[in-house]
Copies of this chain bind each other. A is one copy, B any other.
């Protein structure tokens, strides 16, 4: 749908990155730096956890104080969460040391952390790591930067895409980290996005919120729950497009589509990296009364351990899907529901079951499976992405039906 470049967060013009080891982790890279040669508009979405980590507090403060930024510093291996006054001081030291070393102001720096909760950061290592990272900033630093934000991830997640706005090429780059665990309820999800698009800060914030709701908030990593979850974006305007300031501008809409595409792609990489995952599952709920209800139903299905074990066992146990919609909290008529696995109809209206186990099995044996639940209630729809649930946990449930 969009041109992909063999690059990540440094794909857009004027961005440089580095990833180094500074001693939070034993051996692996643990400090990531992204730098824009020109002040960039910044925006962010954050966890709603009542115990926000220190970097979340710092970034909210920074975004309230200034619309533009030059750098994002991220450490992995330690979340700097539940660390009280001292943790907050440490977070501000990260900001100040980064500003000092880069020769920019404190207002220009955003930070992020991920890893263990309740331990203090090794600040000496962090500070010398900042100096090393600054000295290594490079257009080729994107992969090292993406590696340095990993915790239990098995592979680094990055992507850059291009979109043409009124004849001007605009690039978006991103990197993300997920968790090795399926449907974690507090494993940290971080994503950082850069673009050379010229856009107002208000519209940038609007686009990020909407795109995150339709990507990171639609995978089985619940964006509401970690102490550290955040998505940050910097847009430095170096592409030279006519500045985007209006939601109804077709160029903005094209940029938004590209942003949503990028975030959905990064979200899917997180799902594929789920612990024990052997299948990638897309849940589509269609013909719902509202988009919110479609999301609610799709999320209940995607989070159902019983649905996920049945998929792992390649068992067409549609009753578990319907029951998940039943407890999702939406109002609907179960007799009207239809269920499809890819294009194979599994359940028709009035509980009419008319599929061959062989056809269903053929779909369920694939690595990528699409489950469509048609509510026959309205015209809204939503997608959600998840993976199967495998191994011992499954033993009792996967073949329950046979």
Contacts and interface: CB of A to CB of B under 8 A. Distances in A.
B276 A117 contact: no
Interface string A384-402: 0000001111011100110
Given A353-B118, A393-B391, A49 B185 contact: no
A84 B392 contact: no
Interface of A: 48-51, 79, 81-84, 116-118, 152, 180-187, 222, 224-227, 275-276, 303-306, 309, 317-320, 322-327, 330-332, 334-335, 347, 350-351, 353, 390-393, 395-397, 400-401
Nearest to A183: B305
Nearest to A49: B326
A355 B343 CA distance: 57
B322 A51 contact: yes
For this chain, the copies found in one complex come to: 2
B185 A306 contact: yes
Contacts of A276: 392-393
B82 A351 contact: yes
B180 A327 contact: no
B51 A186 contact: no
B181 A323 contact: no
Given A152-B397, A319-B116, A392-B392, A185 B81 contact: no
A354 B46 CA distance: 31
B50 A396 contact: no
22 contacts: A49-B326, A50-B330, A50-B332, A51-B326, A79-B319, A117-B319, A118-B317, A118-B322, A118-B353, A181-B305, A181-B306, A184-B306, A187-B306, A224-B327, A225-B323, A225-B327, A226-B327, A275-B395, A276-B393, A391-B392, A392-B393, A393-B393
